Amino acid sequence: MKILSINAGSSSLKFQMYEMPEEEVLISGRFERIGLDKSFYTVKINGEKVEKFVDLKDHSVCVEYLIKELLENKVINSLDEIKGVGHRLVHGGDKYSESVVINDKVIKTVEELSDLAPLHNPANLMGVRAFMEKIPSAIQVGCFDTAFHQTMKADRYLYPVPYEWYTKYGVRKYGFHGMSHRYVSERLSELVDKDYSNVIVCHIGNGGSISLVRDGKCVDTSMGFTPNAGIIMGSRSGDIDYSVIPYIAKKTGMTLDEIDNALNKKSGMLGTSGISSDFRDIDEAIAKKDERAIMAHYLFVNSIVNYIAKYYVELNGRIDALAFTAGVGENAPHVRRMVIDRLQCLGFKIDREKNDEIRFGKEGIISSVDSKIPVYVIPTDEEVMIARDTYKFIKK
């Protein structure tokens, strides 16, 4: 059975087609600069990657090119072979705690939740509508970034603000990166060979979040009402004292929108280092002993350590495993080493040789044999989670 996993943004669209239930990737690719000049797309099939420059005026045109590639590469002989299309939808609020078949009611609800994710939900729906139009025979499934975290209890997701802000306006912690946290926590349970396990997942990339998962259910997570909460990120501030906002507004005359933009796009590693939001650029600057880059790196590590330590305490020390995932978590051994070294008092110990070896898509354990708690690197796979959820609806 052939299923497409789709992640549509305002100017990009990523896809992977799977043969299910084998989970074999048949073709993958990405459309870039949709609606902009110099648009193009890349396709990877049979280990070969091809780049093509074409005019991508909207998502519907992208789907047309995608279908053309599927047919010309003989991945399918007809559109009827595509039984399902699974879509990453960023924000389902507290309306959806699991993936759902997309219908008019779901689309309307996702539209209504766009105030909570103004950059993401409308863009996600562009992809949904394009595939509904071009592949009407396929079941369309929505997979929400927020769904996995809906198992949090009120004492974890409520903020100590006027209660009507929650009841009237939906102000609460939602959490994000849910598909990744779910994938990695499930994989951790397999690795520690326990049906019921207590694990901490560190999804660390340009955006980052940390979650506490007990018995396969999210207990708490670092991101909050928006993805700007929690640990320091590439260009997002993470947790700050909210009084900074009115203070800066008075000092500079900046509007709330301008400050919000600064906290999302000009802060984090970029704002602190003054160099880049890309961690590779920060590492190059650190090698040249740039003081701000070094300070940014310490702030970043501190924020990760703080959340791991917090969740360790919440588990009363009964933790079965810790995992690193996503771009930095999977590929930056020095970051993992610094974090684990700071947590030695809790029984974490790293095997430096293993840690240096496991990167670039490798999965494995990086803790030493005398570590109280095993530490893993697990490459995340949000796309396969989307495919799995979509397959479940089709095989019913």
315-324 tens-digit pLDDT:
999 999 999 9
Are 229 and 327 contained in the same domain?
yes
360: number of Cβ within 10 Å: 8
Are 131 and 257 contained in the same domain?
no
Domain end call among 144, 173, 208: 144
Element (H, E) at 357: helix 352-357
Burial of 370 (0-12, 13-18, 19+ CB in 10 A): exposed
Report the CATH number at residue 40.
3.30.420.40
Residue 249, token pair as written in the block? 């507004």
Are 129 and 193 contained in the same domain?
no
Mean pLDDT for the stretch of residues 96-117: 92
The SS3 assignment for 209 reads strand
Mean pLDDT for the stretch of residues 363-377: 97
* Residues in a beta bridge with 87: 6, 142
Mean pLDDT for the stretch of residues 203-222: 95
Backbone angles phi, psi at 76, to 5 degrees: -135, 160
For residue 136, is the peptide bond before it cis, meaning its omega torsion is within 30 degrees of 0? no
Q: Is residue 395 part of a domain?
A: no
Catalytic residues: 145
Q: Is residue 159 part of a domain?
A: no
pLDDT of residue 234: 92
Are 109 and 199 contained in the same domain?
no
Domain end call among 89, 114, 144: 144
Q: Is residue 51 part of a domain?
A: yes
The DSSP line for 82-124 is EEEEEEEES--TTT-SS-EE--HHHHHHHHHGGGTSTTTHHHH
Q: Is residue 160 part of a domain?
A: no
Least confidently predicted of 88-102, 112-126, 139-153, 355-369: 112-126
pLDDT of residue 122: 87
Are 230 and 336 contained in the same domain?
yes
Cα atoms in the Cβ-side hemisphere of radius 13 Å centred on 119? 7
Mean pLDDT for the stretch of residues 99-117: 92
* Residues in a beta bridge with 16: 5, 28
Are 128 and 216 contained in the same domain?
no
Q: 12, 18, 76: which is closest to 42 by C-alpha?
A: 12
Tally of domains in the chain: 2
Are 212 and 296 contained in the same domain?
yes
134-176 tens-digit pLDDT:
999 999 999 999 999 999 999 999 999 999 999 999 999 999 9
Are 140 and 194 contained in the same domain?
no
Domain end call among 144, 171, 200: 144
Amino acid at 53: F
Are 215 and 364 contained in the same domain?
yes
Mean pLDDT for the stretch of residues 364-383: 96
Q: Is residue 332 part of a domain?
A: yes
Asked if the model's pLDDT at residue 12 lies above 90, the reply is: no
194: confidence class by pLDDT, cuts 50, 70, 90: confident
Mean pLDDT of the chain: 94
Percent of the chain with pLDDT over 70: 100
47-65 tens-digit pLDDT:
899 999 999 998 999 999 9
Q: Is residue 389 part of a domain?
A: no
- Residues 146/175, Cβ–Cβ less than 8 Å: yes
What one-character DSSP code corresponds to residue 274?
S
Q: Is residue 387 part of a domain?
A: no
Asked if the model's pLDDT at residue 195 lies above 80, the reply is: no
Q: Is residue 134 part of a domain?
A: yes
pLDDT of residue 363: 97
Q: Give the span between the Cα atoms of 339 and 256, in whole angstroms.
A: 34
Are 76 and 211 contained in the same domain?
no
pLDDT of residue 254: 98
Q: Which domain holds residue 10?
A: 2-144
Q: 266, 295, 269, 264: which is closest to 280 by C-alpha?
A: 269
Are 10 and 134 contained in the same domain?
yes
Asked if the model's pLDDT at residue 120 lies above 90, the reply is: no
Q: Give the span between the Cα atoms of 323 and 214, in whole angstroms.
A: 14
Which strands, in side-by-side order, build the sheet including 2-8? 48-53, 40-45, 24-32, 12-19, 2-8, 82-89, 139-144, 100-101
Are 205 and 109 contained in the same domain?
no
Asked if the model's pLDDT at residue 230 lies above 90, the reply is: yes
